[in-house]
Amino acid sequence: MGTKSDVTDYNILYAQLQKNLPWGGYVSAGAHYGAGSKVLWTGSDGGENRWGFMGAISGPDININLPGLKKIIAVADVMTGKNVFGAGGGGLYFYFTDTIDLLTGPVFFFDKALQPGGRDFLWTVQVDVDFDLRPAKPAAPPAAEPTKS
């Protein structure tokens, strides 16, 4: 949530459809609209770039099942637009458990002039830790077997 006007209040609206693949993984596609200030959606060429395509793909699980590493998943995504968000990237998820993973890989920017230091790519590392905010509901007791008379 952005709170500083013309700096962090990008307000991106998007819609995306996803299809799970029969062999595992998924493919998704959609569109985005930059609803924030015009300043935030202007490219280095001076053009306003609010609309764009969003897409992603994920491969099937590569089950490793070693102590400390459960599985690996290859992923890639793209968000078009000659603005600060326009980029494509790819990476690998390393699942240590069902609820703890690390995603790492490169991100390539479409308008490097808008990035810190004019960089055209960066290497990203993301750690995810999933946990339930509410306890799971207890399972229903099994139905009693009918008695024979």
- How far apart CA 78 and CA 122 sit, in angstroms, is 14
Q: According to the model, what pLDDT value does residue 149 have? A: 61
Does the CA dihedral 17-87-10-32 come out positive or negative?
negative
- How far apart CA 117 and CA 106 sit, in angstroms, is 17
Query: Residue 59 above 70 pLDDT?
Result: yes
What mean pLDDT do residues 99-122 have? 94
Confirm whether pTM is higher than 0.85.
no
Residue 77, judged by CB atoms within 10 A of its CB (0-12, 13-18, 19+), counts as middle
Percentage of the chain surpassing pLDDT 70? Answer: 98
- How far apart CA 35 and CA 48 sit, in angstroms, is 12
27-41, 93-107, 131-145: least confidently modelled range: 131-145
Angle at 9 between CA 8 and CA 10, to 5 degrees: 100
